């Protein structure tokens, strides 16, 4: 299947480059051109530096101008002031360079006619040369492939092909698409707690490449299963619905957080990226499909994308959810959150109750929520036996485990096995605030278990998944 | 002021003990009596161990029975099986011991008549002896005072008097009151990111001491300014409203998360602690007072309590809130969250706009939300100048700063100074998921700056504070 509106290969030179030129490379690490050089230095491809005032930066030679580059590079990263950008874009387009990334600000987001006109000229120059343009007013892009980090933002290392994440037993990768560079930087830090990110793609003012282009390109990439998308608007807002549709058609799962849902937010967007969004029946239809969830709380974006990427598709027939905890209090909070989200937590059928009564201590509750009590801290198999019984119950589509630090991470592989055996998601909800990242890695890195940091996030995701 | 219903000194022997007996002390660290001994060993008071089968544990002598203790201790911690508890409670009461803490389960929470009757007998024995009883089915209590940790749960070290937190320049302390032991353990881990906790008080089945008793006792303690309360129910639910009122009368600030707000949650409570809650006009009136906020998301409990403890009282006359960020995207998300919470984000007055235009780069937005752009990463005083201008605007009651890791923690002391100068709260909202705890300490430990981990939590807290 190919896209009806954008050749899916058209971003390959930007996102799978063999050669990159950094224009405005600097030895000053506090300058954008210095930070970008620092990040690009780890990339495994042909990197050329352009700087007319230096012969070398470190051991790398500098070219005096774009014209003197030894090849028409796949991508030129422009870390230069706004007043030099237009000439550089014209040169790149005339040389057959595949794509440019423009960091500079001062374009349509200023809200004045001059800025809008300057941005339109950049887009026209790129289009005339068959070149793609990212930005202006963007922080760049990163990919796990060959450790590409063509950005002045310090994204964390992404999940590379050599780290074992491609094989069996690895968590599915997530691509992060964020129009805002600051949000991309913030959200990408989920990598530090073990979320395997394949790409971080920003587009700022979106004068050419926008989030719809990224969705369509990612749709064709096998190395991510989930996409976390946050955006303000697009160059052409009507392109979003078909782009979401194409990603879903190709088996991607999408969590989407749109900025500017309020009147003051809309007003601020006009002065930020000056891009547009628009409600439409086509967009509503795309957003209601199985495999996509929209949310307002940005802090839940990554965990929702990870959940969708890990959850079975389609969802089981059952609509109930079971709650299993080592504490009565967290079980009560969980069914409260389920109720708020419209998720039912029915009681187990008789045979399940009998099995629970056989494995649980006398004073535990062989019900839903099922409370193994603190006994399960000393006898961890209690929890596994109860999980087995609940997952086998045909009334449940999923199992939610509010989790405390006194519980053993050794249980995760066996819980994941039970999840796969029954084809039902097992969601681990971390109950303590700000857990250390090391505590979260074993769940994030598991190919099956879904991690949530709030009960509301968990049950709202389950509600959306069950509706699908 | 003294309480109308409970002498406020009545929990002093429990929570400010000079002597404690641990009944069922064990050298086995996986047994409750071993874990409690480990925790009590750091306490700076007279500790006696009771164990009929050992002469010593480590270097500490063991007494063969409660009767052989050399004094009527202030508190006896009963780390013994349920079938030995009643006899021990009877002995403690007859000896004039001040309070007992009962870890054992198998009482009213079983839902059967036998369990309820056994629990009632414990409460009667304690009452007859003028002794307070905590539990059964509880994990115990902890206090910063002399590093008391009379619990089998591994609470983190609390903010002690020797750590400089009593003086000027320290964040106000928060007491955590949680009926559920597992939730107390989870929430207390906020201490690891720098929240100064003065007490962690649990009560389990609440056969005698319940959360109302704790509130009334804390009301009289000068060493906490905020109380984070989570509960399922009480022995006598009508005691909650006057207890909240007394805490507020004495200047405490309260964040409250009640469990069992849904029908399935209520059903689960009957099988957990079997305590009761009840809506009443008196409770509604107490909950609507200035200085108390109720919430449903447990993960926001601690940050809401810290905000209330730090925020000026009363709130300024103004009702608007200003948003200041180094990124357009986070500013848009912030005004969206404000709109959802019913908080207005009006534009600055003309003189403020003039000041902003003088200090901000040309393409930044001298508006609300105010976007200093990534320039403020290189020129941090931009952000301080803009904060000064916005806080001076009489239209704003508070300032919200969505915060990214690329921003400098060096700005916090100056932001706090501006907050105090203008008598308006400055809220720092961490935008990246799961930040490392070290990144959060500088804000948590600041006496003025409020930290939030989500924009919705921030604006819902501000909405409640502004309503007051």
pLDDT in tens, B229-269: 999 999 889 999 999 999 999 999 999 999 999 999 999 98
pLDDT of B167 over the 90 cut: no
Average pLDDT over residues A123-143: 96
Chain A nearest-CA residue for B233: A329
Average pLDDT over residues B137-156: 94
- Confidence (pLDDT) at A435: 85
pLDDT of A4 over the 60 cut: no
Give A451's pLDDT tier (boundaries 50, 70, 90): very high
Chain B nearest-CA residue for A438: B436
Chain A nearest-CA residue for B300: A433
Dump pLDDT digits (tens) for A77-95: 999 999 999 999 999 999 9
Average pLDDT over residues A169-176: 92
Average pLDDT over residues B18-42: 95
Q: Is B260 on the interface with A (CB under 8 A)?
A: yes
| Sequence-separated (6 or more) residues with CB below 8 Å from residue B381 | none
Dump pLDDT digits (tens) for A7-57: 434 899 999 999 999 999 999 998 999 999 999 999 999 999 999 999 999
Helical spans, DSSP H, in A316-436: 328-341, 350-359, 375-378, 381-392, 412-422
Higher per-residue confidence, A376 vs B82: B82
Question: How far is residue A248's CA from residue A312's CA, in Å, rounded to a whole number?
Answer: 15
Q: Is A259 on the interface with B (CB under 8 A)?
A: yes
Report whether A232 contacts A272 (CB < 8 A): yes
CA dihedral B260, B261, B263, B269 (to 10 degrees): 10
Is 0.90 topped by the overall pTM? Answer: yes
Q: Is A367 on the interface with B (CB under 8 A)?
A: yes
Give A363's pLDDT tier (boundaries 50, 70, 90): low
Question: How far is residue A236's CA from residue A213's CA, in Å, rounded to a whole number?
Answer: 11
Q: In the 8-state DSSP scheme, what is residue A180?
A: S
**Alpha-carbon Rg of chain B, whole angstroms?**
25
Q: In the 8-state DSSP scheme, what is residue A465?
A: H
Mean pLDDT of all residues belonging to chain A: 92
B329–A437 CB contact, under 8 Å: no
- Confidence (pLDDT) at B259: 96
**Alpha-carbon Rg of chain A, whole angstroms?**
25
pLDDT over 90 for what percent of chain A? 79
Q: At what angle are helices A181-188 and B328-341 packed, to 10 degrees? A: 80
- Confidence (pLDDT) at A112: 85
Q: Enter the tokens of residue A20.
A: 């990159």
B371–A272 CB contact, under 8 Å: yes
Question: How far is residue B305's CA from residue A433's CA, in Å, rounded to a whole number?
Answer: 13
Q: What is the DSSP string of B265-301?
A: HHHHHHTTT--B----HHHHHHHTSTTEEE-S-GGGH
Task: State phi, psi for A214 to the nearest 5 degrees.
Answer: -65, -40
Question: How far is residue B429's CA from residue B260's CA, in Å, rounded to a whole number?
Answer: 29
pLDDT of A3 over the 60 cut: no
pLDDT over 70 for what percent of chain B? 96
- Confidence (pLDDT) at A162: 47
- Confidence (pLDDT) at B405: 81
- Confidence (pLDDT) at A423: 95
- Confidence (pLDDT) at B278: 84
49-68 in chain A: CB under 8 A from chain B: none
H-helix or E-strand spanning residue A47? strand A46-50
pLDDT of A216 over the 90 cut: yes
Question: How far is residue A356's CA from residue A390's CA, in Å, rounded to a whole number?
Answer: 8
Strand partners, B308: none
Question: How far is residue B69's CA from residue B76's CA, in Å, rounded to a whole number?
Answer: 11
pLDDT of B6 over the 70 cut: no
pLDDT of B162 over the 70 cut: no
Mean pLDDT of all residues belonging to chain B: 92
Question: How far is residue A338's CA from residue A332's CA, in Å, rounded to a whole number?
Answer: 10
Q: Is B460 on the interface with A (CB under 8 A)?
A: no
Q: Is A397 on the interface with B (CB under 8 A)?
A: no
Kindly list the residues from chain B whose CB atom is less than 8 angstroms away from the CB atom of residue A328.
Answer: 109, 180, 182, 268, 271-273
């Amino acid at each position: 299947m190919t896209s009806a509106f954008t050749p899916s290969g058209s971003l390959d030179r930007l996102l799978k480059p063999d050669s990159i030129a950094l224009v405005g490379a600097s030895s000053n690490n506090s300058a954008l051109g210095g930070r970008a050089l620092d990040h690009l230095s780890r990339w495994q491809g042909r990197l050329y530096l352009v700087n007319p005032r230096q012969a070398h930066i470190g051991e790398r030679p500098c070219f005096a101008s774009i014209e003197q580059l030894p090849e028409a590079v796949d991508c030129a990263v422009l870390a230069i002031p706004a007043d030099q950008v237009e000439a550089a874009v014209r040169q790149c387009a005339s040389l057959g360079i595949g794509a440019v990334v423009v960091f500079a600000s001062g374009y349509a987001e200023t809200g004045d006619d001059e800025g809008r006109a300057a941005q339109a000229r950049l887009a026209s120059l790129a289009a005339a040369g068959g070149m793609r343009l990212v930005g202006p007013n963007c922080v760049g892009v990163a990919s796990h492939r060959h450790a590409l980090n063509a950005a002045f933002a310090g994204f964390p290392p992404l999940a590379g092909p050599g780290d074992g994440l491609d094989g069996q037993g690895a968590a599915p990768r997530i691509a992060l698409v964020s129009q805002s560079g600051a949000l991309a930087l913030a959200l990408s830090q989920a990598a530090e707690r073990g979320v395997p990110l394949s790409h971080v793609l920003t587009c700022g003012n979106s004068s050419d490449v926008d989030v719809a282009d990224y969705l369509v390109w990612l749709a064709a990439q096998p190395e991510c299963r989930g996409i976390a998308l946050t955006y303000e608007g697009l160059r052409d807002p009507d392109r979003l619905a078909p782009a979401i549709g194409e990603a879903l058609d190709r088996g991607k799962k999408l969590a989407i957080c749109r900025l500017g849902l309020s009147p003051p937010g809309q007003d601020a967007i006009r002065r930020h990226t000056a891009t547009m969004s628009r409600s439409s029946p086509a967009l509503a239809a795309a957003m209601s499909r199985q495999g996509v969830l929209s949310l307002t709380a940005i802090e839940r974006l990554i965990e929702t994308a990870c959940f969708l990427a890990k959850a079975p598709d389609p969802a089981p027939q059952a609509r109930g959810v079971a709650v299993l905890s080592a504490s009565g209090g967290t079980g009560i909070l969980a069914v409260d959150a389920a109720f708020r989200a419209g998720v039912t937590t029915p009681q187990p059928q008789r045979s399940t109750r009998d099995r629970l009564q056989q494995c649980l201590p006398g004073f535990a509750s062989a019900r839903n929520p099922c409370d193994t009590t603190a006994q399960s801290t000393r006898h961890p198999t209690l929890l596994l036996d109860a999980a087995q019984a609940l997952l086998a119950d045909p009334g449940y589509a999923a199992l939610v485990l509010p989790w405390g630090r006194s519980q053993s991470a050794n249980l995760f592989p066996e819980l994941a096995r039970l999840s796969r055996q029954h084809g039902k998601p097992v969601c681990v909800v971390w109950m303590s605030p700000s857990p250390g990242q090391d505590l979260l890695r074993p769940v994030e890195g598991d190919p099956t278990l879904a991690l949530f940091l709030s009960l509301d996030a968990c049950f709202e995701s389950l509600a959306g998944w069950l509706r699908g």
